[in-house]
Amino acid sequence: MNNNKVNAGRRNFLKGAAALGGATLTTSTTLSHAAWEAAREKTKDGKQLAIIGSGMGGVAASWLCDSDWNIDLFESRHKIGGHCDSVSVEYEGEHFYFDLGAEFFHPDTHPLYVSLLEEVGLFNPDNEAMDQTLEAPGSLSIMAMDKDRYTFNSKNTHWNIFTSINFGLYTQYARNFILDDSDYEITLEEWIDSLALSRYFKYDLLLPWMSALIGCNVAQAKKASARSILQTFALAYPQNLCAGATTMNSNIGLGGNLQVILDQCENVNVWTNAGVTGLQKEQGQWYLETEAGTFGPYDQIVVNAPPRFAKNWFSELPFTTEIASILDQFEYFRARLLIHSDPAYMVETDSPQYWCVYNAGIKDGECEGSVWLGGIHTDLPGDQSLFKSWATDRDHDPQNILAERTFFHPWITPQAIRASREIRNWQGYEGIWFSGQFTTGMDLQEAALYSALKVAEQLNPYSPRITALRNRLSERGITDINYDL
Ligand SMILES: Cc1cc2nc3c(=O)[nH]c(=O)nc-3n(C[C@H](O)[C@H](O)[C@H](O)COP(=O)(O)OP(=O)(O)OC[C@H]3O[C@@H](n4cnc5c(N)ncnc54)[C@H](O)[C@@H]3O)c2cc1C
């Protein structure tokens, strides 16, 4: 764990929002032929790379390839970020950035990502003007909603001693499962069955809570890869059971982080409202079809759009139908997130001193989670009663909804793991590369960044930014980072 002091002040929070210039992210242009041709005119003599999808993987691939390629980054939405979906929310008369998607990271689970933040200046406690990283306690409550009581509360472990002991043991099983390099094809159900813990803890608390962490129902969670889930957080559990866990966030949201990373690129044109609908290859060069027309030529393309979209492009080309059938193996579930100021997800609604950063409410065997944003952004104004909650299958929505997002979430089953392994065999085929979390078997900023690094090592092997990241990892004592399945 990195013990650097982090800035947590509201001043920085507001500064972060101001740095992003209001509600929308900047420096991207809606795709049109006129704009694209003007941009291409300046770069027509260089090597041309198209990157499709501006999530963490696409942005990182752009940043890492920037020094050697002229890059067009195509994004179907009106803004960059993908699942790094940072939104501006008005609360108590002020605007703040919050994440309606990925939010948390930690040096032990995200060493590459944290090194990237250091490299671009977003994590630098010595430079307050730039640093946007915020450290918060990693507290957790699990609540029985029908009984209106806590069954576990990490701020008050003495309330439920038996559950707390089981929880402590679980954290060490989870850590060791990763450290032992366990098989990604073991399902969550199989792993939980194997644990020497009480049946009540395993099936009435742990399983529903972990389904909430992924954002799906219990039946879906049982079939998910245990390694894939645990990889996202288990190494952040302290080895010493008495030590408190922490987590990191960004004052400008993880989407804000991506915008800062893109702003450091010199040779990247970011095109929004630029959904790719098909691919063509003519005389060794690639062309991208979009609603605004066909764009190209490109020497190489990086596909960072989720497989559920990309599979259609490959099924229409005679020489890529095998790729299409691999991409067809990835599965998703629907999920919905809200930001709201109603403590409806909590028990003890009048006792915010018991609220934890993550709160899991179990009812009828299913569980939905709620992040108490006031527990992270401790300088929020008012009573800090602000939440980010999963609301996919909830009977009643909370009141005072300030922002909302419905999306498809990867469902990483053993089938998806096998597809991730297979897609790697096609890297570079006919000038097509794949980056994004789906190539890694886990759903994490770290994974998407790693996937981009792997592609960039081939497309831009002498990238000074790759060298810089390696140097930073080595300073952290990490000489070989490997998430290959
Ligand atoms: C709710 C939620 C919470 C999460 N929490 C965390 C967390 O706390 N910490 C963490 O590290 N990770 C978290 N993750 C995981 C993390 O967000 C992802 O692993 C990562 O952001 C994936 O990045 P990506 O580039 O692979 O894909 P994406 O973010 O999916 O990006 C793909 C991009 O492609 C674009 N696209 C799609 N179709 C087209 C097209 N036809 N043409 C052009 N563009 C297209 C999409 O709009 C999108 O912008 C979370 C994920 C979710 C969903």
pLDDT tens string 63-113: 999 999 999 999 999 999 999 999 999 999 999 999 999 999 999 999 999
- Does a structural domain hold residue 481? no
Query: CA 116 → CA 258, 406, 473, distances in Å?
Result: 11, 29, 9
Structural domain includes residue 2: no
Q: How many domains, in total, are found in the chain?
A: 2
Say if CB 301 and CB 279 are below 8 A apart.
yes
Residues 336 and 324 in one domain: no
Tell me if 57 CB under 6 Å of ligand 1: yes
Residue from 385, 452, 462, 341 nearest 73 by CA: 452
Would residue 125 count as lying in a domain? Answer: no
Per-residue confidence (pLDDT) for residue 395, from 0 to 100: 85
Cβ of 54 below 6 Å from ligand 1 = yes
410 CB near ligand 1 (under 6 Å): no
Residues 441 and 312 in one domain: yes
* Residue 193 and residue 270 share a domain: no
What pLDDT is attached to residue 26? 42
Distance (angstroms) between ligand 1 centre and the Cα of 305 equals 9
Tokens found for residue 329:
């193996």
Give 241-273 pLDDT, tens digit per residue.
777 889 999 999 999 999 999 999 999 999 999
191 and 314 inside one domain: no
Its domain, for residue 386, covers: 130-249+332-411
483: in domain: no
Ligand 1 and 102: CB distance under 6 A: yes
Indicate whether residue 413 lines ligand 1 (CB < 6 A): no
Q: Is residue 187 located within the same domain as residue 157? A: yes
Q: Residue 70: what are its φ and ψ, rounded to 5°? A: -95, 125
Cβ atoms < 10 Å from Cβ of 129 = 9
β-bridge partners, 482 = none
Judge if pTM exceeds 0.85: yes
> Is 163 in the same domain as 219?
yes
For 163-175, b/e burial (b = at least 16 CB within 10 A) is bbebbebbbebbb
Q: Is the CB of 275 under 6 A from ligand 1?
A: yes
Name the residue with the closest Cα to ligand 1, atom 26: 436
Backbone angles phi, psi at 361, to 5 degrees: -105, 115
Expressed in angstroms and rounded, the spacing between residue 274 Cα and the centre of ligand 1 is 17
Write down the pLDDT at residue 295: 98
The atom number, within ligand 1, closest to the CA of 435 reads 26
Task: Please name the residue whose Cα sits nearest to atom 6 of ligand 1.
Answer: 102
Q: String of b and e for 422-445 (b: at least 16 CB within 10 Å)?
A: bbeebeeeeebbbbbbbbbbbbbb
Is 124 contained in some domain?
no
Ligand 1 atom nearest the C-alpha of 305 is 34
Question: ω before 297 within 30° of 0 (cis)?
Answer: yes
28 & 53 share domain: yes
Cα–Cα distance for residue pair 472/120, rounded to 1 Å: 12
295 and 395, same domain (yes or no): no
For residue 169, how many C-alpha atoms fall within 13 Å in the half-sphere facing its CB? 14
Residues of the chain with pLDDT under 70: 1-26
Looking at the domain assignment, is residue 396 inside a domain? yes
Kindly state whether residues 221 and 79 are assigned to the same domain.
Answer: no
Cβ atoms of 28 and 271 within 8 Å: the answer is yes
Same domain, 313 and 437: yes
8 A C-beta contact, residue 375 and residue 387:
no
Domain presence at residue 480: no
Q: Are residues 146 and 62 in the same domain?
A: no
Ligand 1 nearest atom to the CA of residue 60, by list position = 25
- Probe ligand 1: pick from 337, 433, 443, max atoms within 8 Å of CB? 443
Beta strands 140-144 and 358-363 are parallel
Residue among 83, 404, 439 whose CB has most ligand 1 atoms within 8 A, to mutate: 83
- The CB of 409 under 6 Å from ligand 1? The reply is yes
CB 84 within 8 A of CB 56: yes
Q: Which two tokens stand for residue 187?
A: 């399902």
**Cross-strand pairs, 369:** 360
Measure 53 CA to ligand 1 centroid, in angstroms. 9
Task: Provide the CATH number for the domain around residue 322.
Answer: 3.50.50.60
Q: Is the CB of 391 under 6 A from ligand 1?
A: no
